[in-house]
Amino acid sequence: RIQKHNIQCDWQRGYATVAVRPQHWEELQQWHEHAQKHYGASHYQLWDKATLKQQLASDMYQGAQFDPLSGHLHPLNYTLGIAKAAADAGAQLFEQSPMTRIEPCDNGWLVHTPNGSVECKNLVYAVNTYAGLHPKFKVLEQKAIAVSTFIIATEPLGERAKDLIRNNMAICDNRHVLDYYRLSADGRLLFGGKDNEFIDDPDRMTELVRQDMLKVFPQLANVRIEHSWGGECDITRNLAPHFGRLAPTVFYAQGYSGHGMAITGIAGLAIAEAIMGDEGRLKPFEQLRHSNIITQPFLRKLGSFLGSKYYQWKDSH
């Protein structure tokens, strides 16, 4: 798609899953064997600590699984490029038009907004972390929970950036509460992580994520943090995406569990094909079983907090 639509989004191949502790390294090796045996993923490469050090200037890790086919990009520019391609193909996009009411009509559905309505044969609920904002989506809210994540961006590092990540890959560790990071096109280190529902102080969160960054790259102690931001992503209990339909002409897609930029395109394709009469791509997703998650807001927040603390404890033992 990037090539077809000439989207300028800094696409860069290369992604490594890294292991912090010896037991994480054992789990990563087991996953490597499983992926080869069951999914035919022969392109994965296992790197021991010395091999990883040739590409990544950190002493924190036991080893890595490198995927030369995955990679990283500028997510907003990619999204804008896809939106332009859709508009060029004839799609009509109406931003800042919240849905206020949905009702059946002769030709399918009537979707009301504050300034008008849309009549359509098929509906797609692409609500992600916002399922709880409307009573219509309560059934979806039971299957996914929103968790917070935070990112910081350093000042441009110049030549130092190439020394940090020599092959310019993206990196994520395989802990439950994990770190993820990469270099931007202008040479900043983008470093993300954390998951704490009870910290609403952006300055404190910036410093906490910075401390995590310094555990990986202590050599950046004197580097300025120029930007920081946070948001929510939705996860399901089994960390598998939740795609399907609520009625023959009402589809939904949510539960990307942190992999949204990779799998939203698959979700859109599967639902589009189903609308056109080919359900082959959507069916396997519909057959995935998803357990319910409590929906009471305070209990949700408390459960997310306690769960995060429990998995942080597991990660450290």
User: According to the 3-state scheme, what is the secondary structure of 109-161?
Assistant: EEEEECCEEEEECCEEECCHHHHHHCHHHHHHHCCCEEEEEEEEEECCCCHHH
Domain range annotation of the chain: 12-76+146-235
Q: CB–CB of 94/86 below 8 Å?
A: no
For residue 247, CA distances in Å to 6, 36, 92, 124 come to 37, 37, 24, 11
Packing angle of the helix pair 75-88, 260-275 (nearest 10 deg): 20
Which pair of tokens denotes residue 94? 């109406």
Amino acid symbol at 126: A
Q: What is 12-76+146-235's CATH topology?
A: D-Amino Acid Oxidase; Chain A, domain 2 (3.30.9)
Write out the chain's pLDDT in tens, 317 residues: 999 999 999 999 999 999 999 999 999 999 999 999 999 999 999 999 999 999 999 999 999 999 999 999 999 999 999 999 999 999 999 999 988 888 999 889 999 999 999 999 999 999 877 777 677 777 888 898 888 889 999 999 999 999 999 999 999 999 888 999 999 999 999 999 876 655 678 898 999 999 999 999 999 999 999 999 988 888 898 889 999 999 999 999 999 988 888 899 999 999 999 999 999 999 999 999 998 887 666 666 666 666 666 666 677 66
